[in-house]
């Protein structure tokens, strides 16, 4: 093989990959803003989930993009793990469309397509036409690169070393390993299948030699989702485990079929004069049949992911983020970013609020019966609240400053105000706990009437905090009215209890030191109510993110 052939092959590969990237990006630009809307309309019907997964992947020409998006949705809480299974199955079917397009072999029209696409971009000032122009031009450039690659690879047919190497691919283990590694490197099964088709069109490789490489390519495509799941929550990691399990199970099944039946011969018989079509058909059959086989076992795949990655007993006390995923700002797939960012922020602030609420309850419990271990646990949770506060601020700052197409980004800043109030609620819980510790150390206690009144304030503040736990996005509509009523009651009760305490002080029922502590505790509970009302008001302003907070039922 001459040096000019090597240069031509590399140039053809460059055009092929660029054309595929251009087409994929343009499809994302044309249809990407509809992806979230499509997902929101899903039901619990698994067939519909598979169909939508296939549709989205066919539109974007990338199962990696769909899987990465699904990982992000699961990590943010937008999608349940059980429902992500169907999207992943559909994505594996949708990714086969690229191979089928290549098998059509419209090479003669490729230059015309490239020209028309570029003309739409250059001569018409329209974003919509830019997207369609990019799709057409990308497809044309893809075929031009394919043709150049195919022609450059022709001399490989007469190279004994290369022919000997290709025949080794008929060994299932070697073929699968080569396919998986190559696809993992370029991170696109569509591109690796296309390159395999280019080899076949040059008559360098036949279907019996390519078939196991093809099976391995389905495993290699999982690497992108695996990388995207680094640093995410356990459910997001389980999503990638399901994706990998799907392709490994499919590979095992089809290796057995290929070894025990004349599967390759049958696929050759279906398209006897078009080896590119044979490869495309095997790719399609692999994913469609695997989906049909595993469709009844979706819940078992979820259980398998829990077996491989079980819950950790250390999660509750560890300094970890449950929902925020900083990796969404670094991956190449931005579809659904608005929904993911807002939902992750909303869920993480709810997590932070839950920890703060528990600390408020613990602080009152310490007033009733002080325990050093419970006090230490409360202080540890305060450290966790501060950690969450820092990370949410960092995440929010990146989200606001990033140039992603985030719809409703003006609402993201509201989360900065919300976490500031939650952090102050945590501080007031610490104040109450420290006052309980002071009373315990001095071997003092409140009178029964004073304890009863503190209990009333504790109940009122807990009622506010309970109202702030949003289980449904519909609760945002009247949350301010509900919280405002309770907060007003706290203010009136504070005034009433302050008067009662002054009476007890005059009547010598309590000491001056206890009176000071009691008054400060009233202030702490009253301030918790104020911060709760602030949070409710900011929640009510999140109208632009209401759809993002809606749990997608697939």
Paired tokens of 25: 């990006």
Residue 382 has pLDDT above 70, yes or no: yes
Q: Who wins on pLDDT, 255 or 507?
A: 255
Q: What pLDDT shows up at residue 432?
A: 92
- Rounded CA gap, 211 and 175, in Å? 8
Q: Who wins on pLDDT, 109 or 419?
A: 419
Please report which confidence band the pLDDT of residue 410 belongs to, taking 50, 70 and 90 as the band edges.
Answer: low
Residue 44 has pLDDT above 70, yes or no: no
- Rounded CA gap, 298 and 47, in Å? 11
Q: What percent of the chain has pLDDT over 70?
A: 79
Paired tokens of 332: 């190449």
Residue 552: strand pairing partners? 79
- Model confidence pLDDT, tens digit, residues 135-190: 788 878 877 876 777 677 666 666 666 666 666 777 888 888 888 888 887 667 77
Phi, psi of 314 (to 5 degrees): -90, -5
Coil, strand or helix: which one is 177? Answer: helix
Give yes or no for a contact between 96 and 221, defined as CB atoms under 8 angstroms apart: no
Q: What pLDDT shows up at residue 431?
A: 93
Coil, strand or helix: which one is 534? Answer: helix
> Dihedral sign, CA of 80, 85, 88, 94?
negative
- Rounded CA gap, 367 and 457, in Å? 13
- Model confidence pLDDT, tens digit, residues 201-239: 777 778 887 888 888 888 887 876 777 676 666 777 888
- Rounded CA gap, 175 and 494, in Å? 76
116-130, 192-206, 337-351, 365-379: range with highest mean pLDDT: 365-379
Q: What pLDDT shows up at residue 57?
A: 77
Rounded to the nearest 10 degrees, the angle between the axes of helix 46-60 and helix 81-94 is 50
Coil, strand or helix: which one is 552? Answer: strand
- Rounded CA gap, 263 and 518, in Å? 82
Q: What pLDDT shows up at residue 66?
A: 75
Q: What pLDDT shows up at residue 527?
A: 94
Please report which confidence band the pLDDT of residue 472 belongs to, taking 50, 70 and 90 as the band edges.
Answer: low
- Using a 10 angstrom Cβ sphere, with 0-12 exposed, 13-18 middle and 19 or more buried, the burial of residue 323 is buried
Residue 408 has pLDDT above 60, yes or no: no
Residue 426 has pLDDT above 90, yes or no: yes
Dihedral Cα 115, 120, 123, 125, nearest 10 deg:
-160
- Model confidence pLDDT, tens digit, residues 310-320: 876 555 456 77
- Give the pLDDT mean for 79-108: 79
Q: Who wins on pLDDT, 446 or 338?
A: 446
Give yes or no for a contact between 67 and 244, defined as CB atoms under 8 angstroms apart: no
Q: 25-34, 146-155, 253-262, 513-522: which has the minimum mean pLDDT?
A: 25-34
Which domains, ranges and CATH numbers included, belong to the chain?
3-308 (no CATH), 336-549 (1.20.58.220)
């Amino acid at each position: 093989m001459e040096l000019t052939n090597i240069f031509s092959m590399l140039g053809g590969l460059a055009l092929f990959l660029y054309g595929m990237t251009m087409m994929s990006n343009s499809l994302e630009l044309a249809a990407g803003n509809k992806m979230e809307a499509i997902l929101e309309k899903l039901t619990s019907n698994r067939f519909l989930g598979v169909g939508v997964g296939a549709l989205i992947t066919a539109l974007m020409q990338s199962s990696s993009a769909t899987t990465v998006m699904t990982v992000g949705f699961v990590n943010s809480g937008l999608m349940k793990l059980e429902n992500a299974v169907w999207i992943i199955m559909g994505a594996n079917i949708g990714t086969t469309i690229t191979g089928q397009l290549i098998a059509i072999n419209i090479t003669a029209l490729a230059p015309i397509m490239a020209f028309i696409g570029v003309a739409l971009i250059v001569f018409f000032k329209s974003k919509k036409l830019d997207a369609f122009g990019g799709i057409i031009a990308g497809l044309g450039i893809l075929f031009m690169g394919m043709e150049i690659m195919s022609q450059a690879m022709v001399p490989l047919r007469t190279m004994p070393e290369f022919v000997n190497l290709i025949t080794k691919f008929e060994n299932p283990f070697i073929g699968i390993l080569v396919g998986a590694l190559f696809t993992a490197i370029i991170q696109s099964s569509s591109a690796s299948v296309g390159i395999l088709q280019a080899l076949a069109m040059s008559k360098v490789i036949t279907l019996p030699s390519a078939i196991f490489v093809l099976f391995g390519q389905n495993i290699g495509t999982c690497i992108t989702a695996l990388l995207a799941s680094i640093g995410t929550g356990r459910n997001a990691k389980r999503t990638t485990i399901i994706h990998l399990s799907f392709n490994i199970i499919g590979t095992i099944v089809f290796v057995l079929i290929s070894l025990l039946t004349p599967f390759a011969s049958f696929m050759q018989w279906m398209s006897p004069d078009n080896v590119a079509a044979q490869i495309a058909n095997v790719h399609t059959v692999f994913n469609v049949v695997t989906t049909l086989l595993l469709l009844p076992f979706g819940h078992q795949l979820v259980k398998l992911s829990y077996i491989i990655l079980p819950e950790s007993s250390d999660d509750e006390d560890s300094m970890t983020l449950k929902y925020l995923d900083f990796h969404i700002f670094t991956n190449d797939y931005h579809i659904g970013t608005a929904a993911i960012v807002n939902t992750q922020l909303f869920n993480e602030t709810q997590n932070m609020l839950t920890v703060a609420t528990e600390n408020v309850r613990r602080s009152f419990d310490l007033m009733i019966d002080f325990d050093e271990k419970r006090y230490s646990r409360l202080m540890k949770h305060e450290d966790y609240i501060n950690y969450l506060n820092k990370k949410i601020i960092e995440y929010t700052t990146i989200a606001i400053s990033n140039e992603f197409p985030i719809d409703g980004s003006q609402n993201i800043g509201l989360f900065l105000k919300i976490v500031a109030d939650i952090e102050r609620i945590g501080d007031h819980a610490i104040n109450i706990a420290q006052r309980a510790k002071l009373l315990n150390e001095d071997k003092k206690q409140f009178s029964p009437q004073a304890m009863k009144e503190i209990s009333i304030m504790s109940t009122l503040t807990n009622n506010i905090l309970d109202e702030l736990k949003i289980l449904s996005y519909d609760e945002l509509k009247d949350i301010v009215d509900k919280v405002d009523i309770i907060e007003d009651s706290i203010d009136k009760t504070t005034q009433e209890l302050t008067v009662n305490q002054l009476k007890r002080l005059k009547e010598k029922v309590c000491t001056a030191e206890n009176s000071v502590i009691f008054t400060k505790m009233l202030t702490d509970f009253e301030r918790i109510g104020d911060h709760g009302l602030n949070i409710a008001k900011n929640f009510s302003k999140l109208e632009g993110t209401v759809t993002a907070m809606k749990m997608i039922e697939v």
